[in-house]
Amino acid sequence: MVHYLYLVRHGEQVDAEHGLPDGPLSGRGIRQAEAIAERLGGVPFTAAWTSPLQRAQETARIMTERMPAIEPEPTALLMDCIPAGPTPDMPHAFEPFYGSVTPEEIAAGEAQMADAVAEWMRPSRDDRHELLITHNFVISWFVREAFGAPTWRWMGLNQAHCGLTIIRVRSAKPPVLVTHNDLGHLPAELRTGLPENQPF
C-alpha cells in the first residue's frame, strides 16, 4: 500500500518580523499558498490536516479551495512547538536556542510530537495521501523521525514558507524522505522564511 505525507509550512504571516505570535497571511503569503495549491492540485488526497493557528488555517483554506474533495481539519498535534529539549550529545552551539525555553514548553512539545508521529507515521492498510499544513519545527521533527536521527537533529533543519516536504511511510522498511523543502513551485520573490543568519 502507498502512504505519503505531504508536509507544507504555512505561508508568510503579516508583520511576522515584529514578533506577533499569530496573524493572517501577508499578500505574499497568499500567493505562496496559491502556488503550492496549484503544485499539488493533481494529488489524490485522502485527508488534509492543519495547525489551528491562523496563518496555517488560512494557508489550508486557500489550498483546499482548489481541492474540493477534501476539507482541512484543525488539530493541536500540528501546533507550533519545541519538539524536544537539549540532550548530552547535542553540540554546544545549539545551547543558546534554549535560553528562553521553559521545561514546560519542552515537555508539551515532546508529548505533542510523540502523538503526531504515532498518528501519521504509521503504515496504512489503504493507499493514503495526507496533507499536513503546519510549522517549521514540526516538519523538522518529522524529517528527523524519518531518518531515525538523534533527537537534537531537528535543529538546523529549516523549511521556507509553503515549501514542500514529502515522506513515504512503509510497513516493513524505514520511512523514505522523498523530497525536502522543495521550492520549485515558488518564484524567487516568493521564497521566504529561511533564516538569513541561522543560530544553529
pLDDT in the model for residue 197: 47
C-alpha cell at 196: 538569513
The rounded distance, in Å, linking the Cα atoms of 1 and 16 is: 40
Contact 3, 123 (CB under 8 A): yes
C-alpha cell at 30: 497568499
Closest CA to 190 of 10, 6, 12, 9: 12
Mean pLDDT of the chain: 93
CATH 1.10.1740.10 fits 3-190, yes or no: no
pLDDT in the model for residue 198: 43
Closest CA to 157 of 190, 180, 184, 182: 180
Tens-digit pLDDT profile for residues 129-141: 999 999 999 999 9
Contact 121, 40 (CB under 8 A): no
C-alpha cell at 163: 515549501
The rounded distance, in Å, linking the Cα atoms of 57 and 19 is: 19
pLDDT in the model for residue 126: 86
pLDDT in the model for residue 195: 80
The rounded distance, in Å, linking the Cα atoms of 50 and 96 is: 30
Closest CA to 37 of 5, 75, 55, 11: 11
Alpha-helix runs per DSSP H in 40-102: 54-64
Tens-digit pLDDT profile for residues 30-46: 999 999 999 999 999 99
Contact 74, 53 (CB under 8 A): no
pLDDT in the model for residue 19: 60
The rounded distance, in Å, linking the Cα atoms of 135 and 81 is: 8
Tens-digit pLDDT profile for residues 61-105: 999 998 888 999 999 999 999 999 999 999 999 999 999 999 999
Helix (H, G, I), strand (E, B) or coil at 84: coil
DSSP annotation of 172 reads S
